[in-house]
Chains A and B, each alone.
Chain A
């Protein structure tokens, strides 16, 4: 080894020297990474143990707070806070446990969970995150704010409703739906970036699961400048059986956008619009194969089997996509009929 080092030091070849230095640097970085990996592993194990311990402590306390016959005093709540909710990990775990209780209990217990959230001063913690510069902290804070119905934080959340960051925007939209009394989709008039289908599904799920107010009239957004909002509204009109909006949907059967057209066919089919099949028969010939297939599937779904046969004659010979769809639909139907006759 001594010879090697002497050889290199005495050598005038800078390539060798550079390589040797690089080797040393690489080995140092390797050692650094090994240390970091082991540190990460051990710290995560310890952290998980700590979280588990916290969870048990918090769950016990919250259960006592909610259900003990003898009411837990404000002093006891504060003392608990001083003892266990001092650091970030304690605060985060407390929020997680409170969210679980909030989701599992309704009525008075649910209200008391929210009280405890305020008494433990966790609202300030969320508020601080909402004012943060980091989008992921804000998004998480909005999520918690909406789960716990923290209406007073709305002014801080409003500006994120059309955020460039998708996650932030999604959380802001869900917050407004969840906390709204009567107008959960007001924000649709304010957004400029198209809704992704993922966001549309989230909005729909949030409306169905968390919003308890009056169902909005979705036709309000049929005139939106964004195709995605129009598409969402058309879909929701069908989902919520808003029969009164059928006349406003019909013009969309002639939309230039195949997506809007498909969504309209789907919704009108769902609403049982009696003139749908004649409309479809009229338009079928001039549609692209993707829309033709969609029409065939819709006609099959609404159970108009005789009409389906009428469509067969209109499928061009070289439109293999529609032919295949037609064959499968009729084949399935025959099979279903034979099964039901058994």
Chain B
């Protein structure tokens, strides 16, 4: 059976990895792998995966990236977006310390050192039902822990780049990035996922983010992976008291893209503003799954996710807001808006609220439709041609999300990237 072959292959990858990385806790890695073998990859029979099939990604025997997969000449690889002097760079899954620059206040640790030094387990059983977590726990082979100390303001954003370039084998990447923001600090972090445009690879990223009391984090994930790539990115955000997080998710690349975002508003007065834009064409598939846990009183969360779909592309949004019984005075808003630019594009949208407290303000909504014909006529009646009218409307639709990015330069870059895509 193919599935057994798959598991056999992945186990061999794990064995090789543990030989290469003697510091990685082998026992926990194996426990996580066994748990993964039990769950298997999700199937469309699973409630959360009804509209997103990952069966294609199981057809290949992906292997982990080896040091020899690093291109011998890195000089042609651009890691500088021109917006910030601070960056952390991974090329084909390998951390590049000599290409990475951080402000002196920020500490950075190799992932295994981070776990071992702090006597932390790599396997957190609360996620034992999440196959991509289990796979990442067993197989993570790269990633860094980035620590922002208390009362520290970092003026310029920190850009974390995952660059995939110049290989021919079917390679998988299992990076795990830990971001800890202390109390009273402020920082902007961007995770950028890019790859040469015809490379086939599978990347299963995981980002674990903790934001301390009264801290502010501007977080962005920008996904521009190869159109042949499978991109899974799970993001977990834990917020303490009076922390403020703005989190944006932009997806324009990859054949299959899944953002699984799990946020916990643990401390009173925490505020989360989450937004996302996925633009898909041809046979791309873009999936956003977001769960926001309101665990404390007086917290607020907003979510606005949009999809622009053309060709035969598909989009999935599943958003849940779960308000615990202690989380009085919760203010939670969730919205999903989608434009279908072709008759063959499909969107499945499922916003949900689960409320166990009685004194809350919650709202959710979802709209999907073609472009507004009246708006197109209005613009044409002012002399804009059909293409200009549609472009302007799409710019406007996307602009509502892009404007939520606080950094002007990043806004400009993302606007340009979205605009360059074919309608």
The answer to whether A and B belong to the same complex is: no
